[in-house]
Amino acid sequence: MADSFGPTRDEDANGGVAGAGPDAGTARKEPIRVLVVDDHALFRRGLEIVLADEEDIQVVGEAGDGAEAVEKAADLLPDIVLMDVRMPKRGGIEACTSIKEVAPSAKIIMLTISDEEADLYDAIKAGATGYLLKEISTDEVATAIRAVADGQSQISPSMASKLLTEFKSMIQRTDERRLVPAPRLTDRELEVLKLVATGMNNRDIAKELFISENTVKNHVRNILEKLQLHSRMEAVVYAMREKILEIR
């Protein structure tokens, strides 16, 4: 199972996997190109076999460690990198930053057995868009790939609560005052950001605030532009760190 910042359903009510981001379900002209990265050859092969049954997903390559993953990403320019956290030579989290440099459009999903809060938080900071535990079903892997390709953020439910805990701990550890004022968000943008932080998707936020879904999308886009961030998860991390909002 996967979730956004809380145990909510995904925006299209598909069940199984939930997330935060633009609506999924848009028809695709080309299959989603996936690079599979894991130090266990048998696991890589298993994923390839499972994903081969998905007409809209194509495994274009594989790598056995983070260093090889960076090289393959630069060469193949995949849409999605499905990558383990703990690997020899170079771990997945360390590889995230380099992959984003050589293949900026690639979105990274960490697929791991690690349920450590530090790994989750570091992965997000390094640019990962998803963090899923290997306990999820094979069907959910494909669903998560589609969701992330469509702009959603995917986190396993058990890890979502840990992410909020990490946010709170981060605030307690950070007493430094800002040297540069944070970009000013409007009252409505703050309302939207707070609801994003609770795990709400665009549709639910629209209902809560009595506005259209397109208006919510515009607010989210404006928030990211003002904060110079790339994802909803990063926006919430930033807002918590800068004490723009608090989650109790």
pLDDT per residue over 105-129, tens digit each? 999 999 888 888 778 878 888 888 8
The pLDDT score that the predictor gives to residue 74 is 96
pLDDT at 135 exceeding the cut of 80:
yes
Is 0.85 topped by the overall pTM?
no
The pLDDT score that the predictor gives to residue 9 is 31
Lowest mean pLDDT among 1-15, 68-82, 139-153: 1-15
Six-digit token pair at 88? 């020899």
Strand partners, 63: 37
Q: What is the pLDDT of residues 17-61, one digit of tens each?
A: 344 444 444 456 789 999 999 999 999 999 999 999 999 999 999
Cα-Cα-Cα-Cα dihedral of 121, 123, 128, 129, to 10°? -30
Counting Cα atoms < 13 Å in the Cβ hemisphere of 186 gives 8
Is the separation of the CB atoms in 133 and 100 below 8 Å?
A: no
The pLDDT score that the predictor gives to residue 237 is 77
pLDDT at 201 exceeding the cut of 90:
no
pLDDT averaged over every residue in the chain: 79
pLDDT category at 167 given cuts 50, 70, 90 is low
Gap between the Cα atoms of 20 and 104, Å rounded = 20
The pLDDT score that the predictor gives to residue 117 is 73
The arithmetic mean of pLDDT across residues 188-195, rounded, is: 88
The arithmetic mean of pLDDT across residues 128-156, rounded, is: 86
The pLDDT score that the predictor gives to residue 166 is 58
The pLDDT score that the predictor gives to residue 14 is 33
Q: Would you list the DSSP string of 5-40?
A: SSS---TT--SSB-EESS------SSPEEEEEE-S-
Q: What domains can you pick out in the chain, each with its CATH number? A: 27-149 (3.40.50.2300), 160-248 (3.40.50.2300)
Gap between the Cα atoms of 179 and 169, Å rounded = 21
